[in-house]
Amino acid sequence: MDEDMRIRKVSASEQVCEAIQAQISSGVWKVGDKLPSESELAAKFGVNRLTVRMALQKLNALGIVETRTGSGTFVIEFDVPAPYYLSFLDMPPFHPVKQELVEQYGVDYASSADTLLGNGPFVITEYLVDQSITMVPNENYWDRESIKLDSVTIHVMDQDAAFDLMRTGELDLADIPVYVANSYLEDASLLPDHTAELFMDGAVDWFCINMSGSTTGANN
């Protein structure tokens, strides 16, 4: 099979990211050094500040630099080896986004239904920051026929308040507060649809999968 010789398309922010890494690797900027400001880096590399900001965000995520509010961005290194660190980058905050839209909307990107791009089974029609998100089926979704809901509205609110609304039938789904969870798991008839399920989430599933019941920490 012929070797794939296609040229890799590299965005401006990736080029800046690689250039900064090269400067750090060559010793121009050492651990503890403060990097030039976004404006200075933009002038140095001939790009805009947003491109520099995106590069710094990636370097922050990789643990190469740390941006400190009001102080600037500094070169850092881990005190101890952390081979698990890259696995953190699989979390949603680090998922790729369409660069041209980020550059087009700048700080307003993803702040409203009109400035957010997605490819899932639902499309956001209304996004009220810190209040609610309303979605309808994505007509271009590959498995559109499996989507049975006409719309979904997610409310942003305190857990106890959401649970109270679910008990009165005003919400279809909500988390049950830990301090009363056992009561509803034992008697789901206390809920409107008589359904209560136990599930793992990102806060506890690692411990459930990787620790045995004999581990002291897992029992507390």
The pLDDT assigned to 215 comes to 46
Structure tokens at 158: 């305190």
Long-range CB contacts (within 8 A, 24+) of 134-137:
none
Amino acid at position 81, single letter = P
The pLDDT assigned to 38 comes to 92
CA separation for the pair 83, 47 (Å, rounded): 33
- Sorted by sequence, the CB contacts under 8 Å of residue 147 that are 6+ apart come out as 121, 122, 137, 138, 141
CA separation for the pair 205, 55 (Å, rounded): 32
Closest CA to 102 of 62, 141, 49: 49
The pLDDT assigned to 207 comes to 65
DSSP type of residue 92: G
What are the average pLDDT values for consecutive 10-residue runs of the chain, which has 220 residues? 50 87 89 93 91 89 86 85 68 78 86 87 91 94 94 91 89 87 84 78 64 51
The pLDDT assigned to 143 comes to 94
The pLDDT assigned to 205 comes to 63
The pLDDT assigned to 220 comes to 46
Do 75 and 24 contact (CB within 8 A), yes or no?
yes
Do 137 and 123 contact (CB within 8 A), yes or no?
yes
